Amino acid sequence: MDRRKFVSISGLGAAAAAAGSVSPGSVAVAASAKSPSACASAKLPPLKARMGHQFGTLTDKSAGWIGRFGVDAICTNPKTLDPNRLYPTVDEMKAMLDIAGKYKIKVEIVDSVLLTSSLVDREKHPAIMLAQSPERDRDIEAFQNHIRTCAATGIRTLKYNMSLLGVVRSEEVPGRGDTVYNKWNYQEAAAKNPPLTRAGVVNADAFWERIDYFLTHVVPVANEYKVRIACHPQDPGMPPQGYRGIDRVLGTIDGLKKFVTMHESPYHGLNFCQGTVSEDLRNPNAEIGDVIRWFGSRKKIFNVHFRNIRGHRDDFVAEMFPDEGDVDFVKALKVYREVGYEDLLMPDHSPRVPGEDNEQSQRENFPFEFGYIRGLIDAEKHIV
């Protein structure tokens, strides 16, 4: 959303309020009468999407920081006291909620202790993704127990990844101001002939078998306890020949469609990373609306990472601040409104500042993204 578009929405309401003669509702109706796009918006249901954020373990420090910015809810983790236990206890979850309550923060999502977005070579417990028995059955049981602790403490959603490669990027490029952005170019990365991971060669059939085995064991538990399990797409997608021997089956739109229709359940869906999905498209700005519409109309979007890129599949120049990427966030927000999406829009992968650690960079750059997303949500709510 550029500055002129934002001002045209917010400035109209401000001018009417100053005049004291027109109600906010009639301002929106007047805007609709003048603009065909606004007329289309008049047919949409009320916007239910809310602003959220995600980060690691919840502490007094992180809770106090996020409490400043008026987010509606967060995704975070409790502190797990036993490193050998692969799920938090009910008491650990309650301790997390006590910290959140002290700062008037709502926790709606937690991350799995297992199945993170890291490279499998760095994973301490890779058995699920490596199809190693009997270890994977032990780890799946831990995931099932995490579902149960979510249910016992009122957490709606458990987020996870099914990735062997982690988040793959090829280099950093200069960004706005003193920041740097992450870039991905498949041809450049593949030309370096990186070695296989500890997983070896994993073709599509093998990857789907591992996914099916996992879902067979966890979807019934999610159904029983009414906790949504939200899988993050593989970031980024790769060509069919894969990368480092891995065929990333959850790195295409067709793959994600197949995934959510396996073991069909209202509790089995996606952490819909709009940035990652954009990385899977040849023309993200033109195509993203229909992708949101497909998954959103089927209620398969449980959380959104509201992230922007410049570029397309196999070659995006950078993941960047949301106001400067190729995808029009105003148009995207209207589609979330159209499909009745009522969960969170979270900024993700904020640009890094060289010389600062990741936490400090995030503390500096995410507040801009909070304000940007809050402005979009509030402006859209006033279009009736």
pLDDT tens figures, 343-358: 999 999 999 999 988 7
Average pLDDT, the chain: 90
pLDDT at 9 over 80: no
Please determine, for residue 363, whether its predicted confidence score (pLDDT) is greater than 90. Answer: no
Residue 109, helix vs strand vs coil: strand
The residue-averaged pLDDT of 262-275 equals 98
| Phi, psi (rounded to 5 degrees) for 106 | -100, 130
Going by C-alpha positions, the residue among 316, 275, 319 that lies closest to residue 176 is 319
Is the peptide bond between 347 and the residue preceding it cis, with omega within 30 degrees of 0? no
Instruction: Fill in the amino acid letter for 284.
Output: P
pLDDT at 42: 55
Handedness of CA 67, 69, 74, 76 (dihedral sign): negative
Model-level pTM?
0.88
- Residue 283's identity, in one-letter code, is N
Which residues neighbour 237 within 8 Å (Cβ) at sequence distance 6 or greater?
248, 251, 252, 276, 279, 280, 313, 314
At 59-75, the pLDDT tens digits run: 999 999 999 999 999 99
Q: Do you know the residue count of the chain?
A: 384
- % the chain with pLDDT above 70: 89
- Domains annotated on the chain, with CATH: 45-381 (3.20.20.150)
Residue spans of alpha helices (H) in 241-313:
253-261, 274-279, 284-297
Instruction: Give the model's confidence band at 10: pLDDT under 50 very low, under 70 low, under 90 confident, else very high.
Output: very low
